[in-house]
Structure 1
Amino acid sequence: MSDFNAQVIADFMATNGKPGGYFKDAPVLLLHSTGAKSGQERTLPLMYLREGDGPWFIFASFAGNDSNPDWFHNLKAHPDAAISIGDGTEISRVPVTARMLEGDERDAIYARQASLYPQFADYQNKTSRTIPVVELASRG
């Protein structure tokens, strides 16, 4: 795990889900996925979009790199995962199932995220791939 991610995770845990720094005032969750090859749990901080009590949406932007991040491949191989969400007073772990969005559904969610956080528009402009959007629906 990168030092950056390790620091964000530590900050997330210390602040009950409200990390500072780069992610100050941004919605952040911890994704707990199973490694596609290793079978080991992997934990990664990610920004998300959620409106109301609906599912969470995460974005395989990889900061605009030309390949998808490892966590995306992990979710494709093992769609049952978990997320940790914090509200500043406590952290909850929620079992989720991942579904990759396609077409207009994907485009609408990505456009919403890019309107709220313009760096996501920049990420899409930096790469020739279509950045995947993943829906995380609660299993609990």
Structure 2
Amino acid sequence: MPNPVRVVVARFSRTRFFRRVGPTIMPPLERVMTAITGGRVQLSGLLVPSLVLHTIGARSGIERDTTLMYCPEPDGRILVTGSNFARGNHPAWTGNLLKNPGAAVSIHGRRQDVHAMLVADDEREAVWAYIEKQWPGYRGYERASGRVLRIFRLTPS
């Protein structure tokens, strides 16, 4: 049974309003929260499991940080989905991971190296089922975006 708070948050996060304003307001708010807490707390992390993904830019070679919701797996691995607020294009961090799968995550201010692997087509349905047990309706982002969302499994190095 999903957490009732997650059900409400999931429903709100799929609204047209949130998909329209979220990409504009969330990144600056996350940066402020990171500055205030020294990276120990992500604003989105107050309601959902959140991490900061540290990737190497596919073109620039510069480290890029992105705050993301994640879905922990029982074995310590982490699932992240490139929903991009249901926009039609893949978020840049997914391209970074495709080119440079060596990355890091920070959870509650603790940084850990990870290796990213794109979830294979033959595993996608099972992974979506697992994600939706935690986040009911999350796959709606895929339908709304009109593209196949990239899902990555992050394995601690």
Q: TM-score, normalised by structure 2?
A: 0.74
State how many pairs are aligned.
134
1:67 correspondence with 2:89: yes
Residues 1:27 and 1:100: Cα distance change in structure 2 (over 3 Å):
same
| Residues in 1 aligned to 2:136 and 2:31: alpha-carbon distance in whole angstroms | 23
8 Å CA contact retained: 1:81, 1:95? yes
How far has the Cα of 1:3 moved from its partner? 5.7
| Residues in 2 aligned to 1:40 and 1:119: alpha-carbon distance in whole angstroms | 34
How far has the Cα of 1:58 moved from its partner? 0.3
SS at match of 1:105: helix
Residues 1:18 and 1:109: Cα distance change in structure 2 (over 3 Å):
farther
8 Å CA contact retained: 1:17, 1:29? no
Q: Map residues 23-34 of structure 1 onto 2, 5 A cutoff.
A: 23-34=45-56
Unaligned runs of 5+ in 2: 1-23
What RMSD in Å do the two structures reach over aligned CA positions?
Answer: 2.3
Report the more deviating stretch, 6-15 or 127-136: 6-15
| Residues in 2 aligned to 1:102 and 1:31: alpha-carbon distance in whole angstroms | 21
1:95 correspondence with 2:118: no
SS at match of 1:83: strand
**Aligned residues: percent identity?**
29
If each structure's strand is expressed as a fraction of its own residues, which one has the higher value?
1
If each structure's helix is expressed as a fraction of its own residues, which one has the higher value?
2
SS at match of 2:76: coil
